């Protein structure tokens, strides 16, 4: 039933594109870029986020939410993935807090308590950059598209104060993500091309060159990559692309964790990488 519904949406967009290609492209892009879950209510914050100091930071016309669990002068920045929010780190936090570190997490654009309805990696990267300037983290941890954004950020800024990076379940090639979306809705080639042009026009991004493995080539920071061989959301081949390009990083292949990567043994490995 769900598959039929998705195909029906794609069919409707394809029909719309015959007479109104611009409108059809806007509809398709909105479906692709607007998360359907991951938002939070200030009145019903998860308990783990209630325990943190919260602060909204303005970025241009946007504002984004930060959460800080205060500790010592060592700072760890956490960057979540698609249709999630900062509460996804609840299972990892106790492992990191054993080090006594200060831990900072942010909500992505259009996620958690951050503003907006549209998500983009360039805007998320800008959120990271502003957070880094304010909190000066030593370590960066990203999951899924958050991990890809961390790689994009560090390839742009080459921040030498970031000593180590942990990347969990991250994709490499953005064009694969978009191609999967196009295939899922069975959108026609006109709409597919128009979405590509939208990224080029609005973000100055050629999606075929927007790749974590290309970002990783520019990064000298020490890295730890973990990816599950049974991940059906982001294939293990994506992690291998990143690992093959990132000269100063090691890849750990897990089994049975899926895309979420929640596991005490893995989190112990993460803390060992950061602090030993």
Tell me, what CATH number does 156's domain have? 3.40.50.1820
* Domain finish residue from 207, 232, 263: 207
Is there a single domain that holds both residue 93 and residue 192? no
Contacts of 122 (CB under 8 A, 6+ apart): 152, 203, 205
Task: Look at residue 222 and tell me if it is in a domain.
Answer: yes
Is there a single domain that holds both residue 77 and residue 28? no
Task: Look at residue 101 and tell me if it is in a domain.
Answer: yes
Is there a single domain that holds both residue 153 and residue 249? yes
Provide the domain limits for residue 180: 1-33+174-207
Is there a single domain that holds both residue 16 and residue 91? no
8 Å CB contact between 167 and 242: yes
Is there a single domain that holds both residue 122 and residue 233? yes
Task: Give the helix ranges, DSSP H, for 158-249.
Answer: 174-185, 189-203, 212-217, 236-245
Task: Look at residue 103 and tell me if it is in a domain.
Answer: yes
Task: Look at residue 128 and tell me if it is in a domain.
Answer: yes
pLDDT of the chain along its 276 residues, tens only?
567 888 899 999 999 999 999 999 999 999 999 999 999 999 999 999 999 999 999 999 999 999 999 999 999 999 999 999 999 999 999 999 999 999 999 999 999 999 999 999 999 999 999 999 999 999 999 999 999 999 999 999 999 999 999 999 999 999 988 998 999 899 999 999 999 999 999 888 898 889 999 999 999 999 999 999 999 999 999 999 999 999 999 999 999 999 999 999 999 999 999 998
Is there a single domain that holds both residue 201 and residue 267? no
Which helix or strand (DSSP H or E) is residue 270 part of? Answer: helix 264-275
Task: Look at residue 38 and tell me if it is in a domain.
Answer: no
Is there a single domain that holds both residue 74 and residue 11? no
**DSSP-assigned letter for residue 247:** T
| Global confidence as pTM | 0.94
Is there a single domain that holds both residue 8 and residue 117? no
End-to-end CA distance of the chain: 50
What is residue 185's predicted lDDT score, i.e. its pLDDT? 92
Q: How many Cβ atoms sit within 10 Å of the Cβ of residue 204?
A: 8
Instruction: Provide the token pair at 160.
Output: 């030498």
Is there a single domain that holds both residue 215 and residue 110? yes
Task: Look at residue 41 and tell me if it is in a domain.
Answer: no
Task: Give the C-alpha separation, 143 to 264, whole Å.
Answer: 16
What is residue 70's predicted lDDT score, i.e. its pLDDT? 98
Is there a single domain that holds both residue 72 and residue 61? yes
Is there a single domain that holds both residue 138 and residue 90? yes
**DSSP-assigned letter for residue 234:** S
Number of domain units in the chain: 2
Choose among 139, 128, 138, 141: nearest CA to 91. 141
Q: How many Cβ atoms sit within 10 Å of the Cβ of residue 176?
A: 16
* Domain finish residue from 186, 207, 228: 207
Task: Look at residue 142 and tell me if it is in a domain.
Answer: yes
Is there a single domain that holds both residue 58 and residue 96? yes
Task: Look at residue 40 and tell me if it is in a domain.
Answer: no
* Domain finish residue from 164, 183, 207: 207
What is residue 2's predicted lDDT score, i.e. its pLDDT? 64
Summary count for the chain: helices (H), strands (E): 11, 8
């Amino acid at each position: 039933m769900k598959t039929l519904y998705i195909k029906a949406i794609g069919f409707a967009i394809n029909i719309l594109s015959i007479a109104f290609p611009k409108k059809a492209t806007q509809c398709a892009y909105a479906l692709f870029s607007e998360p359907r879950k991951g938002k939070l209510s200030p009145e019903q914050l998860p308990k783990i986020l209630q325990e943190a100091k919260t602060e909204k930071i303005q970025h241009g016309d946007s504002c984004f939410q930060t959460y800080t669990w205060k500790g010592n002068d060592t700072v760890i920045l956490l960057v979540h993935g698609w249709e999630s929010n900062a509460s996804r780190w609840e299972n990892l936090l106790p492992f990191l807090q054993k080090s006594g570190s200060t831990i900072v997490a942010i909500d992505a654009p259009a996620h958690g308590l951050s503003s907006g309805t549209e998500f983009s990696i360039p805007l998320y990267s800008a959120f990271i950059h502003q957070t880094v300037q304010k909190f000066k983290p030593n370590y960066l941890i990203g999951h899924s598209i958050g991990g890809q954004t961390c790689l994009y950020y560090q390839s742009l800024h080459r921040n030498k104060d970031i000593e180590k990076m942990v990347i969990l379940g991250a994709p490499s090639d953005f064009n694969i993500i978009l191609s999967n979306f196009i295939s899922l809705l069975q959108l026609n080639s006109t709409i597919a091309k128009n979405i590509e042009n939208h990224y080029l026009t609005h973000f100055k991004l050629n999606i075929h060159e927007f790749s974590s493995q290309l970002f990783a080539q520019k990064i000298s920071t020490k890295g730890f990559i973990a990816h599950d061989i049974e991940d059906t959301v982001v294939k293990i081949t994506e992690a291998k692309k990143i690992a093959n390009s990132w000269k100063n990083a090691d890849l750990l292949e897990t089994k049975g964790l899926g895309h979420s990567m929640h596991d005490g043994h893995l989190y112990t490995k993460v803390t060992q990488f950061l602090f030993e």
